[in-house]
């Protein structure tokens, strides 16, 4: 009988709608990060570095990119005879076929997968955070406390605590209470959405709560465990952890990688982050190019000037072009004499010559002001930007655009062009 | 499949100077992210040759490490696979491989137990892209016994380190001289051959009986007038690494956009993946006309150079016309010009290295103290 001490379930089905056009075709965990990675690489690498060799990845929203990225798990050494990575999409049942309606519901629908490994513990992860964490240490903490549930929690500044779901603990780190975004926080330990459960405890809770609609860990399973007298503990984590849920925080987290000694250091020898890299060739920096304070992925060709930016693999930046404080993702081609300031340009975008991105004053975005703000220009994957146009701040573009889409050659600040179903 | 592959990767060359102290030529890093043998291996894989034997002998540690898994080149399947044959002592043989023919003869069981009708033999020290199926078609069409891939070198280039051939108008090879003092032509053998498997077994057994060990002199040259040996001209990029100069030149070729594009296009060249972070350019970095591989961190001036993986370049350095191999740490204020810096080396701050008019191989044996 196959027996694993702990297996991980990675929730990767969310859209991440606050990332706007970046996630219109891909699930949030598959969005590129840090020049060559995708967000899901961080929890997956944490798993293998922590000695977890069995990971179920739950997918639902736009899973194609995620599926091709994970494949059979070769980059993470998760192509195993016994265990390894398994992608778990929702499936049809003889009765009551449904999508994954909540985080806990998704796990409930895969009881058989977990049972087949007879684990003692199950680690629940979400696929949209940037951090390095040793889950083995968390498991040791869980065992030491003889806990039923351990929740990873991070101290946040007191003034910001009211934005988080907080845990209140006694002096032994046992959780006594939960507070969801309280006006007057009594604790500054924020839940990170990382849980270790004794499988028997979680299984019982999932089965009992199976009729609960939109069954969610934070809203239903954890409260259920507490009400039933289970031992809940908070594991305090003090390293770097970043939720890249909004375009602003996503941009910031990327920019932090450029610092001379970044707080989140990818260059450390131990705790490598693994990813699938299709391009392995070195990058070429041409005669008149400038590359200062930036990171650049494999196989890119830089003919222009790059300052303070994160450039993905296989990107071409033309002559006379200046890229500042921007994120340019994989395989994007930028023409000559283009100026790009504070933009997020997704994968496989084509930008013509003499284009200006990020001009003028900031204006509120008319399509969705809460998503497209921070003064950023956001361009979705496979988009085309014609030569000679100017694009203002807080704008979004998705799809193949041509000159007619830009009145007087300008997309003013706060405007958007979304051309659905027009992708090449 | 119609053919199996043999890659000869056992060779050493004293003209590689200190560079060959660490590894066989087939394991030399090339073009920023490859090893020399990746080209032959990827060509095999892209030509759908599924069963490949690599024959190693000279300092195979680095090569064995590189080949520790066959999945990067898409080998390692139920049908076929990647076999690495180091010399072994057997009840009737206690020698090392005494030559290329001997190396194959000592693995004749592998040849006999295979069922593929043809064998492609390729050297592991060449940088090129080739569809071996086209070669095989040509071989069959010519009704040849052996077909040798040939390359026309530019007129005036010194070809004395190659096997030089002359073909007649039907492309049959009429002359073959190994490393001649005075060459009769500028067409050379590219070290890639195709022949029938049974033919090869027969020839190798006969060689062994007569105590002959070299594939070129004892088979190609000796059988030249008896067997139908044809030449197949390779018109695309091909370079052989056997001297420091040819190694330097082959690498510097990758600074040319058309060469980079050629190797980057499909079918691609595969290599072992190293999982290094993207290259990082800090304040003070001034990089021009250079190739930079993943994992590098740059703080100063780099010009017309190739940085292999994981190079660290300190502040106020000048690196010019040089090749920095994998995992090199370069301290502040260091000047490097016309050099090849050996892998895993540590260069102290405030040092000066110059190859003058030639190319200098730099290998300091410093300890590295890095936090």
Under 8 Å CB-to-CB from A335, ≥6 apart: which residues?
A: A318, A321, A351, A352, A353, A354, A355, A387
Burial of B88 (0-12, 13-18, 19+ CB in 10 A): exposed
**Does A420 reach chain B within 8 Å, measured CB to CB?**
no
Residues A288-308, mean pLDDT to the nearest whole number: 97
Name the residue among B254, B257, B279 with its Cβ closest to that of A296: B279
Contact A281 B71 (CB under 8 A): no
The reported pLDDT for the residue numbered A97 is 84
Residues A17-26, mean pLDDT to the nearest whole number: 92
Using alpha carbons only, what angle is made at residue A403 by residues A397 and A406, rounded to the nearest 5 degrees?
55
Q: Is the pLDDT of residue A424 over 60?
A: no
Q: Is the pLDDT of residue B95 over 80?
A: yes
Chain A residues with CB inside 8 Å of B295's CB? 267
Closest Cα of chain B to A306: distance in Å? 10
**Interface probe, candidates B294, B305, B344, chain A, greatest A C-beta count within 10 A:** B294
C-beta separation of A222 from A149 below 8 A: yes
C-beta separation of A39 from A125 below 8 A: no
Residues A387-396, mean pLDDT to the nearest whole number: 96
What is the greatest pairwise CA distance in chain A?
70
Terminal Cα distance for chain A, rounded: 49
Name the residue among B273, B277, B292 with its Cβ closest to that of A283: B292
Q: Which residues pair with B303 in a beta bridge?
A: B288, B320
Q: Which residues pair with A345 in a beta bridge?
A: A328, A379
C-beta separation of A303 from A318 below 8 A: yes
Residue with tokens 């043999």: B6
Name the residue among B71, B263, B283 with its Cβ closest to that of A293: B283
Q: Is the pLDDT of residue A197 over 50?
A: yes
The reported pLDDT for the residue numbered A268 is 85
Residues A223-238, mean pLDDT to the nearest whole number: 96
Contact A285 B292 (CB under 8 A): yes
Residues B278-284, mean pLDDT to the nearest whole number: 96
Contact B291 A295 (CB under 8 A): no
Tens-digit pLDDT profile for residues A110-167: 999 999 999 999 999 999 899 999 999 999 999 999 999 999 999 999 988 888 889 9
Contact A272 B275 (CB under 8 A): yes
Chain B residues with CB inside 8 Å of A288's CB? 288
- Closest residue in B to A291 (Cα–Cα): B281
Q: Is the pLDDT of residue A61 over 60?
A: yes
Tokens, residue A257: 């990688």
**Interface probe, candidates A285, A316, A327, chain B, greatest B C-beta count within 10 A:** A285
Contact A284 B285 (CB under 8 A): no
Tens-digit pLDDT profile for residues A312-363: 999 999 999 999 999 999 999 999 999 999 999 999 999 999 999 999 999 9
Cα(B349)–Cα(A167) distance, integer angstroms: 51
pLDDT interval class at A206 (50, 70, 90)? very high
Cα(B369)–Cα(B346) distance, integer angstroms: 9
Name the residue among A260, A280, A295 with its Cβ closest to that of B278: A295
pLDDT interval class at B218 (50, 70, 90)? very high
Cα(B150)–Cα(B165) distance, integer angstroms: 8
Closest Cα of chain A to B288: distance in Å? 5
**Interface probe, candidates B265, B278, B308, chain A, greatest A C-beta count within 10 A:** B278
The reported pLDDT for the residue numbered B15 is 87
Tens-digit pLDDT profile for residues B313-325: 999 999 999 999 9
Cα(B79)–Cα(A199) distance, integer angstroms: 41
H or E element in which residue A208 lies: helix A199-208
- Closest residue in A to B278 (Cα–Cα): A297
Name the residue among A282, A294, A306 with its Cβ closest to that of B291: A282
What number of C-beta contacts closer than 8 Å exist between A and B?
Answer: 104
Contact A267 B277 (CB under 8 A): yes
Name the residue among A287, A291, A294 with its Cβ closest to that of B289: A287
Chain A residues with CB inside 8 Å of B289's CB? 285-287
Residues B254-278, mean pLDDT to the nearest whole number: 95
Contact B277 A295 (CB under 8 A): yes
Residues B270-295, mean pLDDT to the nearest whole number: 96
* 3-state SS assignment for residue A28: helix
Residues B190-204, mean pLDDT to the nearest whole number: 97
* 3-state SS assignment for residue A166: strand
H or E element in which residue A416 lies: strand A416-418
The reported pLDDT for the residue numbered A422 is 47
Contact B273 A272 (CB under 8 A): no
Q: Which residues pair with A9 in a beta bridge?
A: A56, A124
Q: Taking the model in full, what pTM does it have?
A: 0.94
The reported pLDDT for the residue numbered A121 is 98
Chain B residues with CB inside 8 Å of A274's CB? 275
Residues A237-266, mean pLDDT to the nearest whole number: 93
Under 8 Å CB-to-CB from A74, ≥6 apart: which residues?
A: A276, B71
Name the residue among B71, B260, B297 with its Cβ closest to that of A74: B71
Tens-digit pLDDT profile for residues A67-84: 999 999 999 999 999 999
The reported pLDDT for the residue numbered B370 is 63
Please identify among residues 300-329 of chain A the ones whose CB lies closer than 8 Å to any CB of chain B. Answer: 301, 306, 310-311, 313
Name the residue among B257, B273, B284 with its Cβ closest to that of A280: B273
Chain B interface with A: residues with Cβ < 8 Å: 31-33, 71, 254-255, 257, 260, 263-264, 270-271, 273, 275, 277-295, 297, 306-308
Under 8 Å CB-to-CB from B218, ≥6 apart: which residues?
A: B99, B101, B207, B210, B212
Cα(B371)–Cα(B369) distance, integer angstroms: 7
Tokens, residue A24: 């219109």
Cα(B271)–Cα(B274) distance, integer angstroms: 9
Q: What is the separation of C-alpha A261 from the centre of its chain, rounded to a whole number of angstroms?
A: 23
Contact B288 A283 (CB under 8 A): no
Burial of A163 (0-12, 13-18, 19+ CB in 10 A): exposed
C-beta separation of A256 from A264 below 8 A: yes
DSSP letter at B367 equals -
Closest Cα of chain A to B286: distance in Å? 7
Closest Cα of chain B to A266: distance in Å? 6
C-beta separation of A130 from A264 below 8 A: yes
Q: Please provide the DSSP assignment of A38-54 as one string.
A: ETTHHHHHHHHHTT--E
Contact B275 A273 (CB under 8 A): yes
C-beta separation of A299 from A264 below 8 A: no
Nearest to A102 by CA among A228, A214, A6: A214
Under 8 Å CB-to-CB from B356, ≥6 apart: which residues?
A: B338
Name the residue among B288, B294, B297 with its Cβ closest to that of A298: B294
Helical residues (DSSP H) of chain B, grouped into ranges: 19-22, 37-46, 61-66, 100-105, 108-113, 132-141, 197-209, 215, 244-253, 257-264
pLDDT above 70 coverage of chain A, percent: 99
- Reported ipTM: the value is 0.93
Q: Is the pLDDT of residue B26 over 90?
A: yes
Contact A281 B33 (CB under 8 A): yes
The reported pLDDT for the residue numbered B76 is 83
Cα(B338)–Cα(A150) distance, integer angstroms: 59
The reported pLDDT for the residue numbered B174 is 94
C-beta separation of B325 from B30 below 8 A: no
Phi-psi map region of B303: left, alpha, beta (phi>0 left; psi -120 to 50 alpha): beta
Chain A residues with CB inside 8 Å of B71's CB? 74
The reported pLDDT for the residue numbered A423 is 42
Closest Cα of chain B to A288: distance in Å? 7
Q: A363: how many CB neighbours lie within 10 A of its CB?
A: 16
């Amino acid at each position: 009988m196959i027996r694993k001490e702990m297996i991980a379930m990675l929730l990767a089905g969310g859209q991440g709608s606050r990332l706007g056009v970046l996630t219109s075709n891909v699930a949030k965990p598959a969005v590129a990060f840090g020049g060559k990675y995708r967000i899901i690489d961080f929890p997956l690498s944490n798993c293998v570095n922590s000695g977890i060799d069995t990971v179920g990845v739950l997918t639902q929203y736009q899973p194609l990119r995620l599926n091709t990225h994970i494949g059979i798990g070769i980059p993470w050494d998760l192509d195993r005879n016994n265990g390894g990575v398994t992608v778990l999409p929702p499936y049809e049942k003889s009765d009551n076929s449904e999508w994954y309606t909540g985080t806990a519901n998704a796990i409930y629908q895969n009881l058989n997968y977990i049972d087949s490994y007879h684990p003692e513990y199950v680690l629940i992860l979400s696929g949209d955070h940037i951090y390095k964490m040793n889950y083995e240490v968390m498991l040791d903490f869980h065992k030491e406390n003889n806990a039923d549930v351990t929740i990873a929690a991070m101290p946040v500044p007191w003034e910001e605590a009211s934005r988080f779901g907080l845990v209140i603990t006694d002096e032994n780190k046992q959780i006594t209470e939960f507070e969801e975004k309280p006006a007057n926080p009594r604790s500054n330990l924020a839940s990170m959405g990382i849980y270790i459960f004794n499988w028997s405890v979680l299984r019982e809770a999932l089965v009992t709560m199976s009729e609960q609609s939109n069954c969610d860990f934070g809203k239903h399973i954890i409260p259920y465990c507490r009400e039933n007298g289970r031992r809940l503990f908070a594991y305090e984590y003090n390293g770097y952890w970043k939720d890249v849920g909004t375009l602003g925080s996503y941009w910031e987290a990327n920019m932090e990688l450029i610092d001379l000694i970044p707080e989140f250091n990818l260059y450390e020898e131990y705790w490598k982050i693994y990813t699938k890299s299709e391009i392995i060739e070195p990058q070429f920096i041409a005669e008149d190019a400038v590359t200062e304070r930036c990171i650049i992925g494999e196989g890119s060709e830089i003919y222009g000037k790059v300052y303070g930016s994160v450039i993905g693999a296989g990107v071409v930046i033309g002559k006379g072009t200046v890229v500042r404080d921007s994120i340019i993702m994989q395989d994007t081609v930028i023409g000559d004499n283009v100026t790009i300031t504070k933009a997020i340009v997704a994968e496989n975008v084509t930008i013509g010559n003499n284009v200006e991105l990020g001009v003028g004053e900031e204006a509120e975005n008319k399509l969705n002001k809460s998503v497209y703000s921070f003064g950023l220009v956001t361009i979705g994957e496979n988009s085309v930007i014609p030569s000679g146009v100017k694009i203002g701040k807080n704008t979004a573009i998705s799809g193949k655009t041509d000159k007619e889409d830009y009145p007087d050659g300008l997309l003013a600040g706060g405007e958007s062009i979304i051309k659905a179903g027009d992708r090449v | 499949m119609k053919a199996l592959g043999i890659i000869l990767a056992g060779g050493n060359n004293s003209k590689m100077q200190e560079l060959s102290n660490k590894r066989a030529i087939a394991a030399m890093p090339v073009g920023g992210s490859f090893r020399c043998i990746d080209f032959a291996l990827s060509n095999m894989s892209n030509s759908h040759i599924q069963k490949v034997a690599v024959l190693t002998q000279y300092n195979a540690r680095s090569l064995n490490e590189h080949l520790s898994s066959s999945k990067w080149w898409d080998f390692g399947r139920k049908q076929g696979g990647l076999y690495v044959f180091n010399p072994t002592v057997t009840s009737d043989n206690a020698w090392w491989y005494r030559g290329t023919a001997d190396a194959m003869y000592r693995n004749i069981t592998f040849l006999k137990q295979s069922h593929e009708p043809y064998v492609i033999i390729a050297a592991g020290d060449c940088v090129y892209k080739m569809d071996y199926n086209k070669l095989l078609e040509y071989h069959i069409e010519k009704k040849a016994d052996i077909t040798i891939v040939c390359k026309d070198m530019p007129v005036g280039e010194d070809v004395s380190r190659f096997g030089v051939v002359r073909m007649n108008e039907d492309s049959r090879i009429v002359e073959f001289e190994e490393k001649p003092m005075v060459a009769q032509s500028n067409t050379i053998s590219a070290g890639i051959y195709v022949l029938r498997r049974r033919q090869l077994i027969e020839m190798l057994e006969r060689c062994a009986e007569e105590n002959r060990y070299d594939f070129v002199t004892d088979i190609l040259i000796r059988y030249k007038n008896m067997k139908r040996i044809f030449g197949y001209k390779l018109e695309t990029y091909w370079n052989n690494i056997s001297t420091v100069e040819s190694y330097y030149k082959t690498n510097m070729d990758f600074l040319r956009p058309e060469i980079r594009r050629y190797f980057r296009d499909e079918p691609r060249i595969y290599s072992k993946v190293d999982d290094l972070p993207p290259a990082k350019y800090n304040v003070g970095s001034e990089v021009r006309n250079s190739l930079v591989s993943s994992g590098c961190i740059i703080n100063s001036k780099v010009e017309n150079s190739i940085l292999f993986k994981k190079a660290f370049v300190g502040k106020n350095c000048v690196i010019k016309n040089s090749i920095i191999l994998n995992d090199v740490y370069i301290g502040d204020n260091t000047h490097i010009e016309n050099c090849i810096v050996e892998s895993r080396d540590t260069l102290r701050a405030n040092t000066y290295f110059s190859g003058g008019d030639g190319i200098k191989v730099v290998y300091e044996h410093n300890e590295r103290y890095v936090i």
